[in-house]
Amino acid sequence: MKLLKELHRKKKIEARKKVAKRVALGTLVGGLLGSAAGIFLAPDSGKNTRQKIHNTAKDAKNNLERNIDEKKKQVEEVIQNKRTKIRTAVERIRKLGRNVQEDVVVTTEPIKEDTTKENTKL
C-alpha cells in the first residue's frame, strides 16, 4: 500500500513540474511576443523603430558573446581542476605501486633455511 501511495505522490509531483514548465515557457514566449508587438506597434517613425530594433539586437548579441566567454572560462577552470585532481591521483597510485614493488622485491628474496639443531629435530 505504501508503494502505491509513494508512486501516486511521485506522479503528482511530476505533473506539477510539467505544469510549472509550461507556465514558465508560456510566460517567456508571451513576454517576447509582447515586447516585439510593443516595438512594432509603438507610435514612432519607422526609422526610429528600426534603429531601436538594431540597437536591441546589437545589445543582445554583445550580452550573448559575453555570457559565452564567461561560460568558456568557467568550463576551462573546471577542466583544469579535474586535470589537477587526476594528476594528483595518478601520482599517488604510482607511489603506491612503487611501494608495492619494493615490498614484493623484499619478500621474493630466497628464504634461507635454518639449519639449527631445533629445526633438525622436526
pLDDT tens digits, 82-120:
999 999 999 988 888 777 766 655 555 555 665 555 555
53, three cell numbers = 530594433
In whole angstroms, what is the distance from residue 47 CA to residue 16 CA?
46
In whole angstroms, what is the distance from residue 38 CA to residue 30 CA?
12
Q: Does residue 67 lie within any of the structural domains?
A: no
Q: Does residue 26 lie within any of the structural domains?
A: yes
Q: Does residue 69 lie within any of the structural domains?
A: no
Q: Does residue 24 lie within any of the structural domains?
A: yes
Structural domain boundaries enclosing 25: 11-41
Report how far Cα 57 is from the mean position of its chain's Cα atoms.
30
**Tally of domains within the chain:** 1
> Tens of pLDDT along 26-78?
898 888 888 878 777 777 777 887 888 889 889 888 988 998 999 999 999 99
Q: Does residue 22 lie within any of the structural domains?
A: yes
Q: Does residue 59 lie within any of the structural domains?
A: no
